[in-house]
Structure 1
């Protein structure tokens, strides 16, 4: 008899009158009992989101902001204009990392201009803490220019949660997918044929289709938002895709070496411009 069957038999003995541990007649065979499966709990929908879409955009925005106001976060964006034959006409990339100590680093770059040897500024990078903000402008000829100003810590990408949430409500986005394998669980909302100012893009001469796809985590972080347009540019079919991604969690923002260069140049400039005492 298996251990499990033995346990069941002993339990039955104590439950039935007249059963004894000794001198019992040969009993009927006892069948093993298979426990009922435990149901897996359904994942919780993000704040403000229902099975029909977004019901309360303010709740979703508040949850997104709360996720970004913790230990730190990284946000990255890209915008690509590509022809149907695969040629990339324009591509801008950038991002921002906010560290748990309050320091931040922001960067932007026009990838296509840099690749094609364009003149002028092709990139910009900013490092800031509670007291100073240092900006480096990068030129196509590999030279740099710096500015140093009093810190004015701003978080331009935090407001994206509100813009995305409002758009999901206005455009009647529907819940199209739930990924329980992700950690945390994510929910995908999709809106097609956008309206108003969202229906077109200045990057195309003529816009034919438009869509907004947003992936939200269970706690309300807008993990990824993608706006896609198709149409024509200079008589050729083309597509424009803009994507912004968030990743919240502990971050450490190191002070890059070029910050020292910028601060040293400012010190020498201020010293050279100082007037001698009368």
Structure 2
């Protein structure tokens, strides 16, 4: 396997830059990476880091091993159809981080017979703490799977599923998951402020508590449910909060919200795939 396959990022927005930044931090040679963006001025900082840059997607696709499709889902179809001729000649591996669009749709837009890995990332990738779900179509080789995992792992963890439909569940768990935690943080900060804390103190305590609880869960050899049990003393303050959450059906609300996310992910796949 080539240690450093050549890469082209179609789109140089936040997610592309998160992956590029992680790769560079891991020692990936900058000259092995192309960044493509229609506005040349948005590429200057990447060029300053040693990347090859271009406003012509086909120029890059024609000479790389891996193409990362990092554009908005709404414009992925015209981007792919424009790349079809170059892709047919070079046959690179395509990695799509566009939410909701199936590998079959991408393959069709590119002209067919292409190796495609779909990735469902999340925004903590911006700080190299991402949780990414991956799924490969039948044209992807074992070597290409390893290459895709290496690229995406630059932003955090990368976990494979065999059924592309499971990416809807990954969207509900990790793709949209950061927003659930942010909402819970918002609620804690607001409640703490109402109890008399300054917003600054309530915010710092909330964020550090979230960070610490997550780190404890990562380091522990027991599941979160056991960690919760251990910190919930009978007749104590934590128990009263937990009982209140459960009386108000917190667990059911979480499941209902995640099912709504799952359903919308399915709808988007149909809408964008037919666009």
TM-score range, shorter chain: under 0.3
Per the normalisation by structure 2, the TM-score is 0.20
Greater relative contact order structure (CA < 8 Å, 6+ sep): 1
* Greater strand share, structure number: 1
Q: TM-score, normalised by structure 1?
A: 0.20
Instruction: Please state which structure has a larger fraction of its residues in helix.
Output: 2
